[in-house]
Structure formats: C-alpha cells, structure tokens
Chain A
Amino acid sequence: MIVADLKPLSEIAASIEGFSKVLLLACGGCVTVCRTGGEAEAHDLARDLSHPEHFSGKPPDLVVAVIERQCERDLVESYLKIEPDCDAVLSLGCGVGVQTLADVQEDLPIIPGLSTTFMGAADEAGVWREKCQGCGDCLLTGTAGICPLARCSKSLLNGPCGGSRDGHCEIDPEVPCAWLLIYERLKRQGRLEHMQRITGPRDWRPAGHSGPRERQRRGIAPGRRIR
C-alpha cells in the first residue's frame, strides 16, 4: 500500500494561512491504514491547527470530512460535497489523491497535508517499510521475493557491495543488507544458482524515466456516470 507522512504542522499551517474556511479531507484508503490521513488523523490535525499560535491572522475554520478513496476520479466527482464557502481543501490523501482532487476541483486550491513516501507494508504493528519502487519490470523471481531496488540502499542488482557488515548496510546500520537476505532465502530454497546470474543494464523507461506511465485496459466500456 501507499505510505505517507504528515507534513510538519508549521508547514501545513503556513499553507492554509489566509483562507477563511478549509475542508480538511481524509481518505479512507491506504493512508487510513498507515494512520496518517484517515478520519481520526484529520480530527487530530484540525484540533492541532485550531491553535491561533500557528497563524499570524485569523485561523481558517476547518471542516473535517472523509471520502473512501480520493484517487477514484468518478467517485470524487459524484460523492464529494464541498460547502460553497470553503475556499481551499487540505487533503490528507496521498499524492495521487491530491492530484485527483485538484483535477476535479480546478477552481479550488488543493493543499497536501501529507508527503507521500513509499509503497510498502507493515512488517510489524506500526512499522511500515518500503518494499517496491514500481520499476515496471519486476525482478523478484530471481531475488527470492526481496527487491534489491527498493531494499538495498544502493539499489544494486548484482549482489552486495563491499560495505555490508554483520548483515547490515554501511549507509544505515539499522537496515539489513538486502543482498544478504536474498542470499539466505535463496540458499534456504536451494536456488543459489540465481546468485550467479548477471542482471544486465536495465531499460529504465518502464520505471518512469521516459515520462509518466500509463496503462490501458481495453474492453472496459465507460459506463453511465455515477449519479
């Protein structure tokens, strides 16, 4: 899922300074689960922002709402109701949600309250770790289900660097060496021959290095607009 972090309160406050009424919009998807942009966090943020010390002038009125998925354009178009006197939206969606809102509400400033950080999973309660960089050419077959692009600090594709110490990374000793994890798991599976295979230079275009990516699925007819 998509993981995001709340921006510093001072930065959020500065970004809504001068507006009179702001819709603080939570998202019921990924950011609810990673506890940065759900309804509960939206209420917490509204409470924190209500303190006048954050603003030089009058703090904006904040109205909290939640929409199930900010990234679904037709749902946002159909179901998001914004009070007419709101002059901005502070979105607690990920970057995709913020942009979807901005596309739907072109006349309103849409301000992000979160910084989207990575695609990851919770390895343990309350700890989300990056797992995937969406490179567009998955190489997990030969790496025992551990992505060296996302989990090696140097994104090395052909084994560890010389800086691996006691199974940890030289860049951050708290981070386990991805290539040691790969080696151990391949060994456990009796598939160490994958360590011998050389990954050649990659084509980075599927990773987004040739512009924004698009996926089309034919046969999905545009149905009647949701009422």
Chain B
Amino acid sequence: MKTSFFQVNDKCTGCLACVQNCPARALDYRDEGDNRTLLHNMARCARCATCLRVCPEQAVEFEHILENRWDEVVSLKMVRCEVCGNPLHSFRLDANLASEFAEITTRLCPRHRAAHQGRAGRPGGQTREEERKPTR
C-alpha cells in the first residue's frame, strides 16, 4: 500500500479532532466492524496544519505532508542521439513528429546536429564513425 502523506503516530486515539477541524474537509473516517480508519485526501488538503494544532495527543506527524517526495508519473522509452547516446526525446514524440513532418532520418543531439550540418561544407571534417572513436 502506498504510504499516505498524512501520517499519525501510535498516540492517535481516533478522537476525530483533526477530522472535525479540517477546514478543507481533507480528513474523514470510516468505522467498519471493530475498526476505525482515518482517511486523508491530498487533493483537498490545503496543508494549513490545523490538524497538527488541534490534535490533543500530538499524534499528527505533519512532516510527511511537507515531504519533498517525487511520485513516478509515467515512464517512456527514449530515442537517443546516434553519436553520443544522450537521450533526445521519447519514441512517442518521435512518432508524432514523423506524422507531422517529413520522416526524420537522423537522430542527433543539438551538438552533433551542428557538427553534422557543418561537416558537409568542411573538407576533412569528422565522419560520425570517426567522432565515435575515443579521442586521446
């Protein structure tokens, strides 16, 4: 189960002071059988810390609400520069570009695109294969 941003320690008695005082109605509870479950809705939470202030047991661990945590949103396969291998853009964007423009024949990062374009008029310029070789 994903950890909630809103967390309480084991001093929580389920008194519902936080639920009753939350101005954003971001806290709720569910009584089922012998259990009371405290619920939190981050989309509603205004991070105002009223819960922290009203809790009679000092059970609210508000630092989790302020946690600088990154959630993974999407993972996309990337097209890489044919020379240096740096990621350029996603395959999805590549397909979108291909549908709107002429087919892309080379996939190069800005640095290698500049080198590639400059080489055409520059005798003795490196080929892509030569550039791949490590320099001493």
Contacts and interface: CB of A to CB of B under 8 A. Distances in A.
Interface in A21-39: 28-29, 32-33, 35, 38-39
A28 B50 CA distance: 15
B25 A38 contact: yes
A39 B25 contact: yes
Interface in B35-75: 43-44, 46, 48, 50, 53-54
Contacts of B46: 28-29, 32-33
Contacts of B48: 32-33
A39 B53 contact: no
Contacts of A39: 24-25
B117 to A, nearest CB: 26
Contacts of A33: 23-24, 46, 48
B23 A38 contact: yes
A29 B48 CA distance: 10
A125 interface: yes
Contacts of A32: 23-24, 46, 48
Nearest to A41: B23
Interface residues of B, number: 10
Contacts of B43: 68
A68 B24 CA distance: 10
A40 interface: yes
Contacts of A28: 24, 44, 46
Contacts of A125: 50, 53-54
Contact of A40 (B23, B53, B54): B23
Nearest to A29: B46
B30 to A, nearest CB: 19
Contacts of A40: 23, 25
Contacts of A38: 23-25
Interface string B1-37: 0000000000000000000000111000000000000
Contacts of B50: 125
A35 B48 CA distance: 11
Nearest to B20: A40
A152 to B, nearest CB: 28
A38 B48 CA distance: 13
A40 B23 CA distance: 7
Interface string B63-95: 000000000000000000000000000000000
A59 to B, nearest CB: 25
Contacts of A29: 46
A20 B48 CA distance: 36
Contacts of B53: 125
Nearest to B54: A125
A40 B25 CA distance: 7
A121 B52 CA distance: 17
A39 B50 CA distance: 16
Across the A-B interface, the 6 shortest Cβ-Cβ residue pairs: A33-B48, A32-B24, A38-B23, A33-B46, A32-B23, A35-B23
10 contacts: A28-B44, A33-B46, A38-B25, A39-B24, A39-B25, A40-B23, A40-B25, A125-B50, A125-B53, A125-B54
Given A32-B24, A38-B24, A68-B43, 12 more contacts: A28-B24, A28-B44, A28-B46, A32-B48, A33-B23, A33-B24, A33-B46, A35-B23, A38-B25, A39-B24, A39-B25, A40-B25
